[in-house]
Structure 1
């Protein structure tokens, strides 16, 4: 099979342990695009959270963002596809964490909305590595829930950062049965997306847009929120640092994110060098 598109997860995949894109990975991405291949992000991040990487990735045209809720043309700044959570669902999610010590992060209209006072305390929610990015790119508000009800804009995704895995499990149980997608991320985060909306859903939307068969796509990832896109793509590639679940369903494995595994995936499987 000749592959035409590669979807790259960001955290733990395209980004190394320091949240940087290495020169080797940038070079491989540029070479793939120069050879007529499509390279897309495949991330749980909001559009706003790409800010520091946009210049480095200026050759990249497409992005599957917000765990598939937003598919975006980066060069034209145009939405290809967007799906939002039903307002009744949003209300039930908010009710489930009311009075709990949970960092409620909203992704709305491509914005990354966070409680300003809690950003410096993100270590408590096992998200400390993201503090510098959140300080730079977030729409900072006093209370995210209150902000949403006043803002009245659609929400594509809700991230609930907990202090312990057990607290996350308790929230999951409260939300069980709702027509939503729930995925564990990081150590204690629970991602809430519209039912049926996953990175794999976003990949299908992008392939339709490009008039391409899904079997011509490659997905590269490392974590549970990559499982659906790995199952959906024509070729599933797990990073060397991928968790057991991702490694189990992958077709092949490459080096880890600190040793240019993404570059290996591009050269070996997309460009077939």
Structure 2
């Protein structure tokens, strides 16, 4: 099988635990792009963060960000964006505030979250201190109060509960109350997305734009939210640090992110594949 598209998660995949981007990963991505393979990122991260990673990797492709809710090459010109409406966001947040939770509403420009109870303070804005991001986070005492005075249509909502049972209870309630969203449950966390949005729909969108069949994609991931795209890809690869269900779903389990698993897998697999342009020239592959 010839693979035309390589899609990778960021956290736990191309970045090691200390948020470092290994030189070997950059070299591996240069190598696979020299074979005319398109490389993209499929991530839960905000677009600004993903774009900076893409720049470090010399990628000029569409990026699937915000769990699939925002696809673009540039912040101001998305080719696809799906948001949760104002009224729905407000009602969901009001419901969630009945629990002791950390709530974060996110779009491509900024995020707003409540301050944990022991850290009550006035609203303030900070900049993400990570190496790659200048994304703005605003902390407020109560998210619903912020939404009452400010309009913000997020691409998604992230919620952290004290325990998984509360998260499961809230998921069931929210799914029954709001048909316009999907609720994804991971341990003590909920990710709330517009209905029909996921990393997989984002990957499918990219494939459709590039006219690349899904079977001609390689996906490398490490999180539970990568399981669906790993299963769907032509070649699904799990990082060595991925949880067991993700590894079981994969066709290939590579080394961990701290052991440069992406670089190892990419060089090991794609060294066997001739450049796409050569295969097309030899009529081995249709253009």
Q: Cα distance, 1:251 vs. partner? A: 1.2
Could you say which residue in structure 2 is the equivalent of 1:222? 222
Q: Give the number of aligned pairs.
A: 262
Report how far residue 201 of structure 1 moved. 0.4
Specify every segment of 5 or more residues in structure 2 that has no aligned partner in the other structure, as ranges: 120-126, 274-287
SS in 1 for 2:190: strand
- Once the two structures are superposed, the pairs formed by residues 74-153 of structure 1 within 5 Å of their partners are 74=74, 78-108=77-107, 110-115=108-113, 117-118=115-116, 132-133=129-130, 136-142=134-140, 143-153=142-152
SS in 2 for 1:258: helix
8 Å contact kept, 2:168–2:185: no
Per-residue CA deviations over 1:25-69 (Å, capped at 9, x if unaligned) read 111112222321111111011113336535413334231111111
1:163-202 Cα offsets, whole Å, 9 max, x none, are 33333223223223343322234x6321111222111100
1:64 and 1:71 in contact (8 A); partners too: yes
Which structure has the larger Rg?
2
Runs of 5+ in structure 1 lacking a partner? Answer: 122-129
Aligned to 2:194: 194
Could you tell me how far 1:242 is from its partner in structure 2? 1.1
Is this contact kept in 2: 1:184–1:225, CA < 8 A? no
Extract structure 1 runs of 4+ deviating beyond 6 A: none
The 5 A counterparts of 1:1-273 are: 1-50=1-50, 53=53, 55-74=55-74, 78-108=77-107, 110-115=108-113, 117-118=115-116, 132-133=129-130, 136-142=134-140, 143-177=142-176, 178-179=178-179, 180-185=181-186, 188-272=188-272
Cα deviation digits, residues 93-137 of structure 1 (max 9, x gap): 2132124322211122x123133745x97xxxxxxxx97449952
TM-score of the pair, normalised by structure 1: 0.84
Distance 2:92 2:270 in 1: 40
Partner of 2:204, secondary structure, is helix
1:270 Cα deviation (Å)?
4.1
Secondary structure, in 3 states, of the residue corresponding to 1:269?
Answer: helix
Q: CA RMSD in A?
A: 2.9
For 2:135 and 2:95, the matched residues in 1 are separated by: 27
